[in-house]
């Protein structure tokens, strides 16, 4: 499962419209809007007789000018019921209770669609989440896996554990919702799709085209019709989800949707690679809050082993603060508590930090190529290695062909909509996101 863009608003716009993020004009940008001319699947389901709603985060953050989809574009909003004892830094919404209220409001026998937009996991995280993770779920700091592109220190493990507690909390909400469906006798004939909108908020992840930014968890269940217990290796992109849901509901799929339904894969009963044409994925990003001279616009194409990345601008990287630099004799003490940014500044030359400091503070090359079999953490760019020249050229051509087929402005050169949207969101950020 891959998001079209590793940024929440364009990612969710892609789900709603069934289009690659770059096909959504202003919808390709966080803090802009989704043009109303692109139909969204909840509206189509509603016209087909479905009871449609959502709780938590739908599409956003952004604005709703004339000619744009409104706040209810993911469904009628059910955000009234709160938990009695909200946890620090976490959403006070009672997602399952709001789902029950939604079900109570539907007509007897009416089919339904519901979007559960948990804002967990999303920072900032409560500093004692790691303690609750151990107390409630039995997961200690020693159990925490640290991505290979980050230093493995107690402080970074603690940050990861604080994040993981919110993952577990979100999973609990899903469990409660599944139980509600089961108790009502609705589970068997309900299609459930569980995923995330973008990668984890750390270096080389969220808002980047690397796998930790765009590769999402994706689990799908439809007990009455889909054989479970299978792992399917076909690449699935977020634009595919809208036509999948519409086909499952027997509703029309508009021509505007460029995604392809995966109902045939779900019903096939097969494992592994089911559809041989789903052997690659294309994603990217246009903007995620950077201001000039930085521009993180990029695209990525990936197959089962190799990933090719192209940057169109000057990607922002982490900057070290030389005023924080400390003697390496203090490393062990600092590593116990410091988060990534401060650790990099305090000990950039320490052997346990230097490889990561070099990686995270060096701007990416205009083009990058990674052999994910040999380098799963994407730390060694082999774009200039002659041994990979044929692979580079193949992926580069594959990316360009897909971009042209889907009208990506970065390939066609028609950047007017992107230029206009970027000026809007940059100006909005400069005003502190005040309308």
Count of C-beta atoms within a 10 Å radius of residue 166 = 24
**Residue 318: predicted pLDDT:** 87
pLDDT tens figures, 172-230: 999 999 999 999 999 999 999 999 999 999 999 999 999 999 999 999 999 999 999 99
Give the 3-state DSSP-derived string for 352-383, with helices as H, strands as E and coil as C. CCHHHHHHHHCCCCCEEEEECCCCCCCCCCCC
Mean pLDDT of 33-41: 98
The Cα–Cα gap between 61 and 44 comes to 23
The Cα–Cα gap between 217 and 222 comes to 17
pLDDT tens figures, 273-301: 999 999 999 999 999 999 999 999 999 99
**Residue 87: predicted pLDDT:** 96
Mean pLDDT of 265-271: 96
Residue partners of 322: CB distance under 8 A and separation at least 6: 345
Mean pLDDT for all residues in the chain: 97
Residue 435's pLDDT band (boundaries 50, 70, 90)?
confident
CB 402 within 8 A of CB 23: no
**Residue 434: predicted pLDDT:** 82
Phi, psi of 350 (to 5 degrees): -70, 140
Mean pLDDT of 36-61: 98
Mean pLDDT of 230-258: 97
User: What are the CB-based long-range contacts (under 8 Å, 24+) for 383-391?
Assistant: 388/306, 391/306
Q: What is the pTM of this model?
A: 0.96
What percent of the chain has a predicted confidence (pLDDT) above 90?
98
pLDDT tens figures, 87-121: 999 999 999 999 999 999 999 999 999 999 999 99
3-state secondary structure of 192: strand
Phi, psi of 297 (to 5 degrees): -55, 130
End-to-end CA distance of the chain: 35
Token pair belonging to 353 = 């930090």
CB 283 within 8 A of CB 212: no
């Amino acid at each position: 499962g891959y998001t079209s863009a590793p940024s929440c608003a364009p990612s969710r716009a892609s789900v709603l419209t069934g289009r690659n993020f770059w096909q959504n004009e202003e919808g390709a940008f966080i803090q802009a809007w989704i043009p109303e001319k692109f139909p969204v699947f909840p509206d189509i389901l509603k016209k087909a007789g479905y009871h449609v709603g959502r709780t938590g985060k739908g599409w956003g953050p952004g604005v709703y000018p004339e000619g744009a989809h409104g706040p209810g574009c993911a469904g009628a909003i059910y955000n009234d019921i709160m938990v009695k004892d909200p946890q620090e830094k976490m959403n006070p919404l009672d997602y399952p209770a709001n789902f029950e209220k939604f079900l109570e409001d539907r007509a007897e026998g009416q089919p339904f669609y519901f979007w559960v937009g948990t804002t967990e996991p999303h920072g900032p995280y409560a500093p004692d989440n790691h303690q609750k993770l151990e107390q409630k779920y039995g997961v200690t700091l020693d159990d925490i896996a640290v991505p290979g592109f980050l230093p493995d220190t107690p402080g970074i493990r603690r940050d990861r554990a604080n994040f993981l507690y919110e993952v577990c909390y979100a999973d609990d909400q899903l469990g409660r919702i599944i139980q509600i469906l089961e108790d009502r006798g609705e589970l068997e004939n309900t299609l459930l799709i569980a995923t995330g909108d973008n990668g984890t908020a750390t270096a080389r992840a969220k808002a980047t085209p690397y796998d930790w930014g765009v590769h999402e968890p994706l689990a799908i269940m439809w007990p009455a019709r889909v054989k479970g217990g299978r792992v399917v290796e076909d690449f699935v992109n977020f634009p595919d989800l809208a036509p999948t849901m519409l086909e499952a509901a027997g509703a029309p799929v508009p021509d505007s949707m460029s995604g392809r339904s995966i109902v045939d894969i779900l019903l096939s009963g097969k494992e592994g690679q089911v559809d041989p044409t789903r052997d690659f994925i294309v994603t990217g990003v246009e903007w995620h809050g950077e201001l000039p001279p930085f521009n993180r616009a990029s695209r990525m194409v990936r197959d089962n082993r190799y990933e090719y990345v192209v940057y169109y601008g000057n990607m922002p990287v982490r900057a070290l603060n030389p005023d924080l630099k400390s003697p390496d004799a203090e490393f062990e003490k600092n590593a116990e508590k410091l988060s990534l940014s401060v650790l990099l500044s305090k000990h950039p030359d320490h052997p346990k930090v230097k490889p990561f400091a070099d990686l995270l503070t060096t701007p990416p090359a205009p083009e990058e190529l990674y052999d994910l079999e040999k380098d799963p953490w994407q730390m060694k760019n082999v774009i200039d290695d002659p041994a990979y020249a044929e692979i580079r050229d193949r992926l580069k051509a594959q990316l360009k062909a897909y971009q042209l087929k889907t009208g990506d402005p970065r390939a066609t050169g028609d950047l007017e909509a992107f230029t206009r949207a970027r000026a809007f969101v940059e100006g909005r950020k400069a005003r502190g996101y005040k309308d």
